[in-house]
Amino acid sequence: MEFSEIGEFGFIERFRPLFESLNGAGTCGIGDDCAVMPFGDEDLLVTTDMLLENTHFLRAGISPYDLGWKTLAVNLSDVAAMGGTPVASFLSVGIPSGIGVEYMDEFMRGYRDLSSLYRVSLAGGDTTRATGENALLALNVAVVGRSPHGAAIMRGGARPGDAVCVTGTLGDSAAGLEMIIAAGGNITSSTRTAGFPGSAASLLEKHWRPRPRVEEALALAATGAVRSMMDISDGVASDLKHILKASGVSARVDIDALPLSAPLKEYAAATGTDAVAMALGGGEDYELLFTAGEKDAERIAAEAAVKITRIGTVTEGESGIVRWCRGGEEIKDDYMGFDHFGARRRNRK
Amino acid sequence: MEFSEIGEFGFIERFRPLFESLNGAGTCGIGDDCAVMPFGDEDLLVTTDMLLENTHFLRAGISPYDLGWKTLAVNLSDVAAMGGTPVASFLSVGIPSGIGVEYMDEFMRGYRDLSSLYRVSLAGGDTTRATGENALLALNVAVVGRSPHGAAIMRGGARPGDAVCVTGTLGDSAAGLEMIIAAGGNITSSTRTAGFPGSAASLLEKHWRPRPRVEEALALAATGAVRSMMDISDGVASDLKHILKASGVSARVDIDALPLSAPLKEYAAATGTDAVAMALGGGEDYELLFTAGEKDAERIAAEAAVKITRIGTVTEGESGIVRWCRGGEEIKDDYMGFDHFGARRRNRK
């Protein structure tokens, strides 16, 4: 059987039951941004992400510095998504013969600069050769973090009536990726300013060097009012469904309310592409998606250092269903996120 | 610059200083089998290993069940090497299009059966496609473990006069690998009994399905007398040097004392290969290498449930140097372990 028939989550469901009897007391494993394990008087958070050349990045499309940055960023974002504090990272690299020491020096410089920003140590890893003429660069990062016992914000806490909110703007990273693909994969960060207007450069920046919302998530967690949270990595359309399924609820999302940046709107207008499709299904935003009671959400948005936008409402009803509204009317589209083994987002008006 | 010029450890030394200022108080990071981090009133242990097709395994040379087993085993062995208790694992898989769901089902079955043996939960991971016609299977595991605060056994505690000891026998896994390579990579565990005498099957078994020495390491740690310890993954010749360098000492090793299994001796005699070279430089034994005071070592060996063999003595002198002795005489050979970017073991009499 091909993986495209069952998808990433179908595969996970095949082996998850085999491991259920091994879950320790209080451990929350597969199915959230991080595993949460009681450890001493705190909770230990652990997350891991694999990045493979040609699947997750094109070597011609990102500088080694930015690749190092981004490889860590996607993992720090998972710790942020729990409202936790990242502590240490573990980096595995499989290096093919076409990559020299200087490339990896630059990679480590980018990795270090983001590590410094959040005071995350590099506490271990694995360095190995990727053998074979066609071997590709393989990267894996694991990050451990900490959280006061019971304080981690899971996906399963959303309740009917909650406001659905996001930080920042959505779709910029997807537009940056489209620009790179349109250029045949031949833009790297070292040539990032060449031939692009300022607004385009900001889309590329968001794609190449995402800022995980670590401090913003800690501030959200400190309000005590956030009921569910995750980071937006596959696109908010797909990611919101994870919160809804975990919480056993539905949601209504107002497409007109989506926070779109001026550069994204400019890009969409200039190229005739669909900014909304990029915002909903594009992925790699690494913004936070969370729910909170209506009044709490208003207060949180007013007091937050980061832009927070309410995009919808949690409703009762079939678990995991999103109803999309535009101009107050429900529309019959189903924006899809990124699934590593199957469907890609639909990109239509 | 090519990685073969500087090797795995040369690369690590290039970036290690960049990260030093980020190390937290009490954290011991790069350079031991696991990172050790104070967490609550305990120590958290973390290790990670990447396994790449054609670098670490040939898909034709191991069954998916055994590959799943071994992928976890090499990481559990690192936790054992600290005298710690493994708690949870995190598995990343990058799956190329040539691998179907049934293959990964078998992989997960092997991974689960070893998880069950040591009650280690699968607490998370990442499942992704490896894109491209020539893409290869990429695996990464991270394991977290626990240890009473300050109790983890590091590499740096060896003292002059200590006995150098190993568990089990050495070189069996290397002989199993040689058999697989000699067969053109076309032996898998499902055909393991075909055409091999019983003793050969035990060498293959050791290569395909290593048993990490988790309980044995906990028992060694409980004696309170083990001064330094690591697991043997690259070959004892190479691995012992890590203990010696970390401890600032030398050692004398008696080659005649090496524990060689009857199947290994039979295999070497039948094929005209060098059992000692396989025992010293072959790697993937996943036995424990440790040092303890002479009297303590005798007591430990007498009381242990596992076979323990003293192979040498820690001495004063230049850090990291091993003097090899045979028939009481020092010999001028330098058995090398596996370095992922450079030298392979020498295989000569």
pLDDT digits (tens, 9 = 90+) for B299-327: 999 999 999 999 999 999 999 999 999 98
Rounded distance between C-alpha atoms, residue B43 and residue A91, angstroms = 20
Average pLDDT for residues B6-24, to the nearest whole number?
Answer: 87
Average pLDDT for residues B145-156, to the nearest whole number?
Answer: 94
Q: Which position has the higher pLDDT, B258 or B187?
A: B258
Confidence of residue A335 (pLDDT cuts 50, 70, 90): low
> Is it the case that residue B31 has pLDDT exceeding 90?
no
CB-based contact B39 A35, cutoff 8 Å: no
Q: Which position has the higher pLDDT, A133 or A217?
A: A217
> Is it the case that residue A347 has pLDDT exceeding 60?
no
Average pLDDT for residues B213-229, to the nearest whole number?
Answer: 97
Rounded distance between C-alpha atoms, residue A101 and residue B7, angstroms = 10
Closest residue, chain B, to A338 (C-alpha): B128
Rounded distance between C-alpha atoms, residue A79 and residue A306, angstroms = 18
Measured between CB atoms, does A19 come within 8 Å of chain B? Answer: yes
Interface probe for B, chosen from A12, A15, A105 (most Cβ of B below 10 Å), is A15
Q: What are phi and psi of A323, to 5 degrees?
A: -100, 125
Measured between CB atoms, does A130 come within 8 Å of chain B? Answer: yes
pLDDT (0 to 100) of residue A89? 96
Angle, nearest 10°, between helix axes A198-208 and A262-271? 110
CB contact set of A328 (below 8 Å; sequence gap of 6+): none
Q: Which two tokens stand for residue A58?
A: 């094109």
Task: State the count of interchain CB pairs (< 8 A) between A and B.
Answer: 265
Confidence of residue A337 (pLDDT cuts 50, 70, 90): low
Q: Which two tokens stand for residue B121?
A: 């939960």
- Residues in chain A within 8 Å Cβ distance of B126: 48-50, 140
> Is it the case that residue B348 has pLDDT exceeding 90?
no
> Is it the case that residue A188 has pLDDT exceeding 90?
no
Rounded distance between C-alpha atoms, residue A60 and residue A55, angstroms = 13
Rounded distance between C-alpha atoms, residue A181 and residue A168, angstroms = 24
Confidence of residue A233 (pLDDT cuts 50, 70, 90): very high
- Residues in chain B within 8 Å Cβ distance of A340: 127-129
Confidence of residue B181 (pLDDT cuts 50, 70, 90): confident
Confidence of residue A343 (pLDDT cuts 50, 70, 90): very low
